[in-house]
Structure 1
Amino acid sequence: MSADNPTLSMTRAQMQRFGQAALDTIIDHHDGLSEAPVGRASDPQMLKEWLDEPPPMQSSDPLDVLEELKNKALADTMNITHPRYFAFVPGPSNFASAIGDMLASAYNIFAGAWLGPSGIAAIEIKAIGWLKQLFGFSNGSGGLFVSGGSMANLTAIAVARHVKLRGNITNATIYFSNQTHSSVRKDLAILGFQPYQARVVPSNDFGQIDLSALLKQLDSDRARGMVPFCLVANAGTTNTGAIDPLTKLAPFCQREGLWLHVDAAFGGGAILSHKKRHLLNGIEQADSITIDPHKWMFQPYEIGCVLVRDKNHLADTFSVKAEYLEIFEHTSADDQQVNYCDYGVQLTREFRALKFWMSLKIFGLENFAGAVDRGFMLAEHAQHILQADPDNFWRVCTPAQLCTLTFAARALDKLPKEQAEAILIATVRGIMASGDAMVAPTRQDGKMVLRLCTINPRTRRKDIAFTIQLLKDEIQNRL
């Protein structure tokens, strides 16, 4: 058996035929989302047969491969961009950014250095500069785009470790609340910290870190010879959207000699809001910030971002020398020439900045602000529907904050915990299987509750009302 296309190429006509079919698929997806199911349950047997397929030895018609993708993979997924997807923290993308991603991939751009792809680096410099301006960081600050919040947190904590500990991590301790994202624990393990070096501080009734408990823990640790070096604060917890008291934490960390990292992977989008940006007051005093544009800045996966108040700390932490990289080594002091491979973990980097830059250029910040403000409105509307239920069926557990609220059915409060949770899980799975909506539970004070995250700007009021009524009907049918 011989190779039939060893150059891995297509004719212009083949590229046009295949490319147009792929683009039509994308357009059909975006144009028909609101009427399409949120997702569908998978057929385990069909997936098993598909997974067992041996690798193809010869070429196939690209349109046949596209149809296989549509029928066996794309049709068997949850549409996170769907207006009735309220689980977790959705990533409601936009078409302009999707085209940006397509272009970045088609041009196969290396975004690690200034030399060569200087126009590419300039776009990331511009986009990072916009974010620095929005978050109140000065010209001496820096940042870069990464895969997501997990990598952004890892990058920031690595910088904090380098600046504060200079390699001696034996007795170091890091502090965060019991509402902090699970990625922080994973990042600490990767960076060489042991579980006993992480201090999980209680949160108050609003989901914010307890400052008195934090201070008590710091004093206790120092008395035992430990070396506190970093506090991870939350600007939008996943569970409830809570924001730690940033205006108090910034001076507190300065007094205590702690690096203040703010995980704003979710809540960072609020900086775009005209009405609610004050909720992030104090974030401009952080030493570093995590932002996830693929959450509340409406970008396709993957794009996270880390900002650091002193850009030199990034290069000091991550820059390495190699003979084959000498040609890249010059970076200007004025941010006009940046080698982003020196600012983070990756040497080879995809061109993540393009989709963010392109969508901001096409839609403008005012429309992004309107999209963020709409999310706040939708969460408040959901809370109103819950509280105005004529049967007093619902109990709001945590009110709308950062487009997130949690709630529970009063009827389930009267049942044993195991029975109530079984009904709740069956309800959520039933709705997910129907394709009508996507809602996921979480826990509040140890009890399982329902949760809505309403950041999708294309969600309509009727989508909220429909989903809440659907939940009520499904729960009542199981009582």
Structure 2
Amino acid sequence: MQLEDYVVSNSTRSKTEMLLQKSLDTAIKFKSENQVRKSTQDASTLYGLIVNELNTNPIELDQVLAEFCENILPDCTNFGSPNFMGFPDAGNSIAALCGSLLSEFLQQNLINQSFCAPSATFVEIAVIKWLREALGFETPKIESVWDVGGLITPSGTFSNTVAMMLARESKIPGTLKNGIQTPKKLKIVVPKGINHYSVKAAQRWLGCGENYVEVPVIDFRYDLEKLQQIVTEEKENIMAVIAYAGDSRTMSIENLSAVADVVRKIDSNIWLHADACHGFCLGFSPNLRHKIQGIEKFDSVATDPHKAMLLPYTISGLIVRDPNKLLSITTESDLIMKENFAFGQVIPFVGSKPWVSLKLWFMMKNFGKEGLKELVESRHRNAVRFSELLLERPCFRLVNNVDYNSVVFVYTEGTTSLDECNRVNQIIHNTVLNEGMYHIHQFSIPGPGWFKEDETLYPLRYMSGNPLVTEHHMTDMLDRIEALGRAALNA
């Protein structure tokens, strides 16, 4: 085995180009197909097919690619299909895919700037600046990483966790160094029934324990009177209040300005964090930005461009209102250069830092402000139209008002109890997934009281960000769901 034959070089350039072209052709063909999954084999079958002994001798790369195409690719989910209408994570921006490919090849490490990522560091700073501007935050003169006011992270869960770390250090300065002495003073406040698991998980990961207070909601937003009451009672022990600029189920946008005003009036030192992993992009639209009015009052905001901007997985951005707050979680090591633009000083949990921001830079430059505006507004128009199509069919009922791009609904025709309604909708969902042509999402959610008080519904959800989705795709999927509902009711 000649090792030099297995790496990119001048001598292997032709072979590399040929194999990469085959891989690229495979990927583009996959992205361009309408079916969500060609094969729906169960987990045990896939385990037996894929998890086996490693071969002893080398295998030619074209054979490896052929094995991948035969055994693995058919069961991959095509998030870019126009029939995938359960999540907006289409990942099909041509510009973003180019940026993603280039970042993998160029292999810049943003832990240090001067020799690891000389120009890449400033690409990262640029996209953080653009995200800050979309949210309405001021951007100070940037002379070091401490002025940037944000971090590019691997995921929304990561961003939310760092935000909770900042909240902890704000509540009890020096905890990073001294450890947690009084966990009871590190509570977080979340809306009941719609909060994302990540902030509660972050509490545990950061050593704060399961230390949270749930506030009742009205129409998937805080009951402001209850919020005021609870924060007043618990203010000495609260480190953060969490609000959702698009909760992960109904995409309802919190009354951000009112929440901030309620909390600040009681205690201006409580950290305000907005999980805007979906809703941040409303800031790109002058016509829809009012929906996130007040987000600029929050101390930190989590954003997920891979959810909202057609980027391949994964990329998130944590934006911090006061850039100096990031000093409280500084990392010091002789392996991280104490230079002005070394991101390794400021991001926790990460050593080598990949250049994931390049795909966002490519996409934002490619779309420009006008293109981003149209992307956001077309997504909203599609969701409104889907809700209208639902209301034309008496067999369905809407669960939420459409704030952005999520439409939550249930098949109810002929159902006479909560259990029956949930059973029918769960059968619909499972059948749709097993068929592989469409994708629609399902979860549990506090119901509106159609069958009984304090009910838990298992609805279906349309939520798409893919520009390829048309009314034709929506109608065809609704036809299939309606037929499955009738069949499930009689099963």
Q: TM-score under structure 2 normalisation?
A: 0.89
Q: Is the 8 A contact 1:39 1:79 kept in 2?
A: no
Does 2:156 correspond to 1:149? Answer: yes
Q: 1:411 aligns with which of 413, 420, 430?
A: 413
Q: Is the 8 A contact 1:110 1:350 kept in 2?
A: yes
Q: 1:315 aligns with which of 321, 327, 337?
A: 327
Distance in 2, matches of 1:397 and 1:45, equals: 36
Q: Aligned-pair distance for 1:198? A: 0.6
Q: Which residue of 2 aligns with 1:171?
A: 184
Alignment of 1:167-246 (within 5 A): 167=175, 168-172=181-185, 173-178=187-192, 179-195=194-210, 197-204=211-218, 206-222=219-235, 226-246=236-256
Q: Which residue of 2 aligns with 1:334?
A: none
Does 2:131 correspond to 1:131? Answer: yes
Q: Which residue of 2 aligns with 1:384?
A: 388
Q: Which residue of 2 aligns with 1:9?
A: 7
Q: Which residue of 1 aligns with 2:110?
A: 111
Q: Which residue of 1 aligns with 2:122?
A: 122
Q: Aligned-pair distance for 1:171? A: 2.5
Provide closer, same or farther for how the CA distance between residues 377 and 135 of structure 1 changes in structure 2, counting only shifts above 3 A: same
Distance in 1, matches of 2:254 and 2:99, equals: 34
Question: What secondary structure, in the 3-state scheme, does the structure 2 residue paired with 1:295 have?
Answer: helix
Q: Aligned-pair distance for 1:340? A: 4.5
Q: What is the total number of aligned residue pairs between the two structures?
A: 459
Provide closer, same or farther for how the CA distance between residues 355 and 47 of structure 1 changes in structure 2, counting only shifts above 3 A: same
Q: Which residue of 1 aligns with 2:404?
A: 402
Provide closer, same or farther for how the CA distance between residues 299 and 37 of structure 1 changes in structure 2, counting only shifts above 3 A: closer
Provide closer, same or farther for how the CA distance between residues 93 and 180 of structure 1 changes in structure 2, counting only shifts above 3 A: farther
Q: Which residue of 2 aligns with 1:455?
A: 465
Distance in 2, matches of 1:344 and 1:458, equals: 38
Q: Which runs of 5+ in 1 are unaligned?
A: 332-336
Question: What secondary structure, in the 3-state scheme, does the structure 2 residue paired with 1:59 have?
Answer: coil
Percentage of matched positions with identical amino acids: 22
Q: Aligned-pair distance for 1:100? A: 1.1
Q: Which residue of 1 aligns with 2:476?
A: 466
Distance in 2, matches of 1:330 and 1:472, equals: 61
Provide closer, same or farther for how the CA distance between residues 44 and 142 of structure 1 changes in structure 2, counting only shifts above 3 A: closer
Distance in 2, matches of 1:189 and 1:23, equals: 41
Does 2:346 correspond to 1:324? Answer: no
Q: Aligned-pair distance for 1:339? A: 2.5
Distance in 2, matches of 1:365 and 1:104, equals: 23
Distance in 1, matches of 2:334 and 2:367, equals: 43
TM-align CA RMSD: 1.9
Alignment of 1:281-296 (within 5 A): 281-296=293-308
Q: 1:228 is aligned with what amino acid?
A: I
Q: Is the 8 A contact 1:89 1:266 kept in 2?
A: no
Question: What secondary structure, in the 3-state scheme, does the structure 1 residue paired with 2:335 have?
Answer: helix
Distance in 1, matches of 2:473 and 2:264, equals: 45
Q: Deviations over 1:166-212 (max 9, x none)?
A: 125422221111211111111110011121x21111111x2001121
Q: Aligned-pair distance for 1:87? A: 1.8
Q: Which residue of 2 aligns with 1:85?
A: 84
Q: Deviations over 1:366-390 (max 9, x none)?
A: 112211111111111111111122x
Q: Is the 8 A contact 2:315 2:356 kept in 1?
A: yes
Q: Aligned-pair distance for 1:44? A: 4.5
Q: Is the 8 A contact 1:155 1:345 kept in 2?
A: no
Does 2:372 correspond to 1:361? Answer: no
Q: 1:371 aligns with which of 375, 382, 386?
A: 375
Distance in 1, matches of 2:411 and 2:46, equals: 36
Question: What secondary structure, in the 3-state scheme, does the structure 1 residue paired with 2:163 have?
Answer: helix
Provide closer, same or farther for how the CA distance between residues 251 and 25 of structure 1 changes in structure 2, counting only shifts above 3 A: same
Provide closer, same or farther for how the CA distance between residues 91 and 190 of structure 1 changes in structure 2, counting only shifts above 3 A: farther
Q: Which residue of 1 aligns with 2:73?
A: 74
Q: Deviations over 1:196-241 (max 9, x none)?
A: x21111111x20011211221123325xxx4222111110011111
Q: 2:371 is aligned with what amino acid?
A: N
Q: Aligned-pair distance for 1:39? A: 5.0
Deviates more, 1:111-120 or 1:248-257: 248-257
Distance in 2, matches of 1:147 and 1:39, equals: 29
Distance in 2, matches of 1:361 and 1:340, equals: 26
Question: What secondary structure, in the 3-state scheme, does the structure 1 residue paired with 2:251 have?
Answer: coil
Q: Aligned-pair distance for 1:45? A: 5.5
Q: Aligned-pair distance for 1:163? A: 1.8
Q: Aligned-pair distance for 1:149? A: 0.6
Q: 1:214 is aligned with what amino acid?
A: L
Q: Aligned-pair distance for 1:242? A: 1.1
Question: What secondary structure, in the 3-state scheme, does the structure 1 residue paired with 2:306 have?
Answer: coil
Q: 1:9 is aligned with what amino acid?
A: V
Q: 1:408 is aligned with what amino acid?
A: V
Provide closer, same or farther for how the CA distance between residues 474 and 280 of structure 1 changes in structure 2, counting only shifts above 3 A: same
Distance in 2, matches of 1:458 and 1:279, equals: 25
Q: Is the 8 A contact 2:412 2:421 kept in 1?
A: no
Q: Which residue of 1 aligns with 2:21?
A: 20
Q: 2:216 is aligned with what amino acid?
A: P
Q: 1:153 is aligned with what amino acid?
A: N
